[in-house]
Amino acid sequence: MNANEEVYLRSSDRGFLSTAGSSGRPTVVPVCFVYDDGKIYIPVDEKPKKKGATLARLSNLASNPSVAFIVDNYSQDWTKLSYLLIHGMGRVVDDEMEERRAVDLLRNKYLQYLSLRLEIHRVLAIEVKETRYWAFQPR
């Protein structure tokens, strides 16, 4: 990822995570995230989920770690359109120090997380492998 793409990614508040399980059926969800050192961290937080259900993103990652992630700028003024598409490998963070760092970074970016118990939930990591940036270019 180049420096301009990093700035674009860091300036975004919301992204969309796309995963697919072993059946190939895709799932896309809007997520909060933080970027650090070639990785995107996404919390699995306390917001309401279907009771007793395993989240599709978690079961999908268990069988297929290949993911896509996108951040964009949409405007009715189409001259301001842009996006950054990222392909990478997703995983549940299992290293305690890495997870603590991710939680600290998420709380610094999103004040709402100061009152949520992120440490009792999982954090997902995406290892960035490939990027594609696009922005409107006048002809």
Domain residue spans of the chain: 3-135
Q: Which amino acid is at 1?
A: M
pLDDT for res 116:
81
Average pLDDT over residues 49-69: 83
pLDDT over 90 at 70, yes or no = yes
pLDDT band at residue 118 under the 50/70/90 scheme: confident
Give pLDDT, residue 55: 81
C-alpha to C-alpha distance for 18 and 56, rounded to whole angstroms: 10
**What letter represents residue 138's amino acid?**
P
Give the Cα separation of 9 and 132 in Å (integer). 12
User: Could you count the other beta carbons within 10 Å of the beta carbon of residue 102?
Assistant: 24
Q: Tell me what the mean pLDDT of segment 1-6 comes to.
A: 95
What percent of the chain clears pLDDT 90, i.e. is strictly above it? Answer: 74
Which long-range contacts link 71-74 to residues 24+ away (Cβ below 8 Å)?
71/8, 71/9, 71/12, 71/14, 71/15, 71/16, 72/12
Contact 124, 90 (CB under 8 A): yes
**What is the number of helices (H) and of strands (E) in the chain?**
3, 7
Gap between the Cα atoms of 42 and 136, Å rounded? 28
3-135: CATH homologous superfamily? Answer: Electron Transport, Fmn-binding Protein; Chain A (2.30.110.10)
